[in-house]
Amino acid sequence: MRNQALLILSFISLFFPLSAAEVKTFLPKGSSLSVESNSELLTSPDKLFTCGFYGEGENAYWFSIWFTNSKDRTVVWMANRDRPVNGHGSKITLQDSGAMVLTDVDGSIVWETNTTATDVDRAELLNSGNLVLKSRSGSTEQGYRAISSQFRCYSYAALKKATRNFKDELGRGGSGAVYKGVTEDERIVAIKRLGDMFQGDEEFWAEVSTIGKINHMNLVRMWGFCSEQKHRLLVYEHLENKSLEKHLFSANFLPWKDRYKIALGTAKGLAYLHHECLEWVIHCDVKPENILLDSDFEPKIADFGLAVVPQGWSRFRVFAH
């Protein structure tokens, strides 16, 4: 009799696994996702992206978005990048006020959205990889930016259109050419089209994952990517004043005040890469061409091309050409 019962239980678990994660595309108002439950996840309708808690070790967790079918969870966005939460008692909650709030085990607020509308009904993970707040009517809150900073996967056709068939070339490096483009939401971007020098999907996804987890005012921001058939492209913010090289070696003298600001900002960006970000990065190709300047001559370090990670340097990513 006991063996028969065990056989029935085995049959049930085979067809109805108890540990299987429940697939949800949205989080209703008043609900939470707990760090302690691997089954509490949000998945985009096309199942390309998943949202939940990503952990390293026992007591360091981040509320994140990653590629569902990627090996070891290729993370593209983190809410609490510089402040991981405990592996027990931490949770993300969509409150009745419409704000999405991440709390640690002691109840302290680690991260929250700056929500203004009161008719927010749910948080939803879209096919683009964006986590947005929606009202009861299904519309995204007016004036509210995607929680995940609109990091997204672009189609090749969309980027080809944005660049007018890759017409306006901004520059060219060892890993490919960079083109100026305007996306459908009228955002001016710089699109790097990776060439034959860039080898393999593993390196591409590693760069997307690493740069997607990096956020600093003195580092060029990546808005998204394209991985379609043989095409590999990265979409970055566009900097109005181009590279430092064009100002250092031009007829117009760059004032010492601006030179000091550029030197200090570059140092801050490198310090963040070397010591402060989640996955330490060594950029082995820092030069004037790879330091871009915004409209206020604030520097942003750019041009990360993935190289081999030296043995024993498990916490480092090394970027070089």
Q: What domains can you pick out in the chain, each with its CATH number? A: 20-135 (2.90.10.10), 152-237 (3.30.200.20), 245-319 (1.10.510.10)
Rg (C-alpha) for the chain, rounded Å, is: 22
Q: What is the DSSP string of 158-218?
A: HHHHHTTTTTSEEEEETTEEEEEEE-TT--EEEEEEE-TTS--HHHHHHHHHHHHT---TT
pTM score, two decimals?
0.56
- Give the least confident one: 19-33, 205-219, 226-240, 267-281: 205-219
Residue 72 has a CB neighbour count (10 Å cut-off) of 7
**Does residue 71 carry a pLDDT above 90?**
no
Q: How many CA atoms lie within 13 A of 19 on its CB side?
A: 3
101 — pLDDT class (breaks 50, 70, 90): very high
Q: What is the dihedral of CA 291, 293, 297, 299, to 10 degrees?
A: -40
Type and span of the H or E element at 179: strand 176-182
CA distance 102 to 35: 10
Task: State how far Cα 171 lies from the chain centre.
Answer: 24
Instruction: Estimate the share of the chain in helix, then strand, then coil, as percent rounded to the nearest 5.
Output: 20, 35, 45
- State the pLDDT at residue 143: 37
Q: What is the pLDDT of residue 202?
A: 64
Q: How many distinct helices (H) and strands (E) make up the chain?
A: 5, 22
The mean pLDDT value for 44-50 works out to: 88
Least confident segment among 16-30, 184-198, 206-220, 244-258: 16-30
pLDDT band at 199 (very low <50, low <70, confident <90, very high): low
- Tell me: is residue 192 an annotated ligand-binding position: yes
What's the pLDDT at 203? 63
What is the structure's pLDDT at 2? 46
For 270, the token pair is: 């490198």
End-to-end CA distance of the chain: 68
Give the pLDDT band of residue 196 (cuts 50, 70, 90). Answer: low
DSSP state of 300: E
Confidence of residue 213 (pLDDT cuts 50, 70, 90): low
Active site residues: 285
Dump pLDDT digits (tens) for 138-177: 666 543 344 544 567 889 999 999 999 999 998 887 678 8
224 and 211 in contact (C-beta within 8 Å)?
no
For the chain, the average pLDDT equals 78
Which pLDDT band, with edges at 50, 70 and 90, does 106 fall under? very high
